Each structure stands twice: as C-alpha cells, then as structure tokens.
C-alpha cells in the first residue's frame, strides 16, 4: 500500500529565527557580535535607568548618584505636561484632553465611521477649547498664551488634521480641474507652501498676517498658529489625495457616466471611496508628520509639549538631568505616533481588496 505523504510541517518562528541567525559562519559571527553589543547596551541602560537610579525629588541626591534622576521628571512633570497653565486649574486641560482622546478613539471605531464620529470629535474640540479658555460657569478665564504642554500638542494636531482634510480635498480636485484658472490657483498654492519650511509659514502667521489684516481683526497668536498648521498640512495632504485620485482609472468615471450618474455622484460614490482606500498609507504618515510638526510652534513662543520641555530645562537646578526629561517626552510622541501607525494598518487590512 502506498504510503500517505503529509506536507512538511512549517518550522515555528523560533526555529526559523535560529536557523537564519546561524545559517553560515559569517552570519553566526554577526549574530554573536550583535547579541553582545545588544546585551551591553541593555545592561548599561538598566544600570543607569533602574539599578543606580534615584526617584527622590532632591537635586542634591541626584548630583551624587551615577544613575538616572527620575526625580527631575517628577519635579518638572507639571510644567512639561501642562506648560504654564495656572496652578489649581490643571484639571481643565486634563479633562479636555481625555474628552478629545475619547472622542477620537470612538470616532476611530468602525461603528462610528462617517458623520457621527466627525461630529463627536468636533464637539470634543469645541468643549476642549471652551474648558481651556474658561470665562463661563464660574471658570476663571485663561489667556491662550498660558496654554501648553501635551493638551496643546493634541489640540493643535487634531485641529490641523480635521480642518486640513476638506481644504486638501478641494485643492486636490482643483489641481485636477479642467478649468485652467482654478488649476493654476490650486497648483500655485500647493507648490508655494510645499516649497518653504513650516517655520516660514509660522513666521508668516506670526509677523506678516497681522500686517495684512485690518487693525481691528487682531487675531490671537494661538488662532494664527493653528490656521498656519492647517494651511501647511492641507498643501501636503492635497498631494496625497491627488496621488489617490490619479490612481483611479478613467474607465471608472466613464462607466459611472454610462450609468448616468452625475459628476458629483461619480465623485462621491465611485472615485472618492476608491481613492480613500489607496491613500490610507500615505495619509497615515502625513498625520504622524502633522503630530511631529506641531512641535515647531515652540519656535514662535507657544509652549506645546516640546516648548514646555525646553522651558522646564531652563531651570539650572534640574538642567543636568535633561536626558530623563527628553526620554519621557520622546516616549509620549513615540506612543502617539505608533498608535497612528497601528490604526493605519488596521484600516489598510479592513479595506484591502483581497483578504488573505
């Protein structure tokens, strides 16, 4: 009787790793060298950050200790996380931040996709701004130049993302329009903004915009910075969308035309849904870019997370322990950025054409 042949069992990932790591003499050597270095780095980091570290809030103790001084972070945590927001009112930015993160988290769930999720985020943004500025229901008014820290970073990022999406879509469509003047205006705007660094746009908002507007319109610096972030983000996002629109073949709109869909219906029902799926990966990295770009507002004297970190380190008593503070702030950016990456991957899988 013929023997049944089973397909070979694929090796487990541990086996595959081990085999690949010690495939040849050269690879084994590399592996050993890298492992040694890795162990050394991890050991050093452990000794510095945990074993020798101090957690007491006393710079005297820190000066005599070879390890990390986490007390510096503990001492400065309020100024790093909330900036110069008045003492005793700290619950307001924290509550606003929780509201905003909650709304964004809910809107990211498929069951709230569409206008419901959008309205939740917009409502959270409005409540956040109201909480920060105060002046109603017994809340003391707080000037916007005292806002700061992580809540401000989140506020500016979410605001820039939400407002730049419709603007970018209009610009992308305008750049592909048949009408020459519309096309020139949109192309000119996109290329001009993309041609200069963000800091130039922020300087424009800080120094030129007040000159260009009537004296009675004195907009708050925070408003101007937020609008500049939107204007900057929209130009880049427009190119992302243009790429997505270009990838949709002409046959799609011709077929829609044959089905007697109007041009608006074609755009809404045929083109945009397909383009949106294609733009998930580049839009994800753009949104991480917006989050990172908000740090530049620190240069025009707005104390977001990066600005507050800089401010906290001006204190000579704790300045020597800047590495600890930078680790904490970097970790916050890293967690936010990696969550956006993970969410982008989830969307990509959800809308992939062939799910295998």
First-last CA distance in the chain: 37
The window from 78-86, 100-108, 173-181, 269-277 that contacts another protein (CB under 8 A) reads: 173-181
Residue 69 DSSP class:
B
What does the H/E/C string look like for 327-348?
Answer: HHHHHHHHHHHHHHHHHHHHHH
The window from 16-24, 98-106, 158-166, 240-248 that contacts another protein (CB under 8 A) reads: 16-24
Beta bridge partners of 69: 54
Please, which of residues 81-100 interact with another protein by CB under 8 A?
none
Residue 186 φ/ψ, nearest 5 degrees: -65, -45
* Nearest-angstrom CA–CA distance, 44 and 40: 6
Beta bridge partners of 54: 69
SS3 state at 220: coil
Greatest CA separation for the chain: 98
Interaction of residue 39 with another protein, rule CB under 8 A: no
Residues written for the chain: 356
Q: Candidates 179, 316, 355, 356: give the one binding another protein (CB under 8 A).
A: 179
Q: Candidates 67, 210, 243, 281: give the one binding another protein (CB under 8 A).
A: 210
**How far apart, in Å, are the Cα atoms of 240 and each of 133, 169, 235, 277?**
35, 9, 9, 12
- CB 34 → another protein: shortest distance, Å? 6
Q: Candidates 122, 182, 219, 248: give the one binding another protein (CB under 8 A).
A: 182
Measured from the CB atom, is 131 or 173 closer to another protein?
173
- CB 26 → another protein: shortest distance, Å? 10
Interaction of residue 131 with another protein, rule CB under 8 A: no
Interaction of residue 315 with another protein, rule CB under 8 A: no
* Nearest-angstrom CA–CA distance, 170 and 267: 12
Residue 197 DSSP class:
-
Q: How many residues bind another protein (CB under 8 A)?
A: 58
Contacts with 153 (C-beta within 8 Å, 6 or more apart), sequence order: 291, 294, 295, 304, 305, 306
Measured from the CB atom, is 36 or 349 closer to another protein?
36
Q: Are 131 and 154 in contact (CB under 8 A)?
A: no
Q: Pick from 294, 41, 354: which is nearest to 148 by CA? A: 294
Measured from the CB atom, is 87 or 215 closer to another protein?
215
Q: Are 54 and 41 in contact (CB under 8 A)?
A: no
The window from 68-76, 117-125, 128-136, 286-294 that contacts another protein (CB under 8 A) reads: 286-294
Query: Where is 227: in which H helix or E strand?
Result: helix 221-246
Measured from the CB atom, is 95 or 176 closer to another protein?
176
Binding mask 212-231 for another protein (x = CB under 8 A): xxxx----------------
* Nearest-angstrom CA–CA distance, 354 and 267: 24
- CB 214 → another protein: shortest distance, Å? 5
Please, which of residues 291-310 interact with another protein by CB under 8 A?
291-293, 295-296, 298-299, 306, 309-310
Interaction of residue 330 with another protein, rule CB under 8 A: yes
* Nearest-angstrom CA–CA distance, 287 and 160: 9
Measured from the CB atom, is 2 or 179 closer to another protein?
179
Measured from the CB atom, is 105 or 282 closer to another protein?
282
Interaction of residue 322 with another protein, rule CB under 8 A: yes
Measured from the CB atom, is 115 or 178 closer to another protein?
178
Q: Are 302 and 221 in contact (CB under 8 A)?
A: yes
Q: Candidates 156, 275, 280, 313: give the one binding another protein (CB under 8 A).
A: 313
- CB 211 → another protein: shortest distance, Å? 5
Binding-site ranges for another protein (CB under 8 A) = 16-17, 20-21, 23, 27, 30-31, 34-35, 38, 178-182, 185, 192, 195-200, 203-204, 207-208, 210-215, 288, 291-293, 295-296, 298-299, 306, 309-310, 313, 319-320, 322-323, 326, 329-330, 333-334, 337-338, 341
């Amino acid at each position: 009787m013929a023997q049944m042949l089973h397909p070979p069992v694929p090796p487990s990932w541990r086996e595959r790793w081990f085999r690949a790591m010690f495939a040849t003499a050269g690879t084994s050597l590399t592996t050993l060298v890298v492992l040694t270095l890795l162990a050394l780095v991890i050991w050093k980091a452990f000794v510095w950050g945990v074993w020798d570290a101090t957690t007491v809030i006393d710079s005297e103790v820190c000066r005599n200790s070879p390890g990390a001084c986490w007390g510096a972070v503990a001492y400065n945590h309020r100024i790093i996380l909330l900036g110069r927001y008045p003492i005793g009112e700290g619950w307001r930015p924290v509550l606003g931040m929780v509201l905003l993160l909650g709304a964004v988290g809910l809107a990211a769930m498929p069951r709230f996709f569409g206008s419901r999720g959008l309205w939740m985020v917009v409502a959270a943004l409005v409540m956040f701004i109201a909480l920060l500025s105060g002046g109603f229901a017994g809340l003391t008014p707080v000037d916007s130049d005292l806002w700061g820290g992580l809540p401000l970073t989140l506020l500016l990022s979410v605001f820039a993302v939400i407002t730049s999406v419709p603007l970018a879509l209009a610009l992308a469509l305008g750049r592909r329009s048949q009408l020459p003047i519309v096309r020139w205006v949109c192309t000119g705007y996109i290329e001009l903004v993309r041609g200069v660094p963000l800091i130039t746009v922020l300087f424009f908002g800080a120094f030129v915009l007040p000159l260009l507007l009537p004296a009675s319109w004195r907009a708050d610096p925070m408003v101007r910075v937020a609008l500049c972030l939107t204007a900057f983000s929209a130009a880049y996002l427009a190119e992302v969308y243009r790429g997505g629109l270009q990838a949709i073949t002409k046959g799609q709109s011709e077929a829609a035309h044959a089905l007697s869909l109007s041009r608006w219906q074609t755009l809404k029902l045929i083109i945009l849904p397909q383009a949106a799926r294609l733009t998930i990966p580049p839009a994800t990295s753009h949104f991480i870019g917006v989050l990172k770009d908000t740090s530049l507002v620190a240069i025009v004297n707005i104390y977001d997370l990066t600005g507050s970190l800089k401010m906290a380190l001006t204190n000579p008593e704790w300045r020597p322990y800047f590495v600890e503070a930078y680790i904490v702030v970097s970790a916050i950016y890293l967690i936010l950025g990696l969550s956006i990456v993970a969410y982008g991957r989830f969307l990509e899988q959800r809308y992939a054409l062939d799910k295998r």
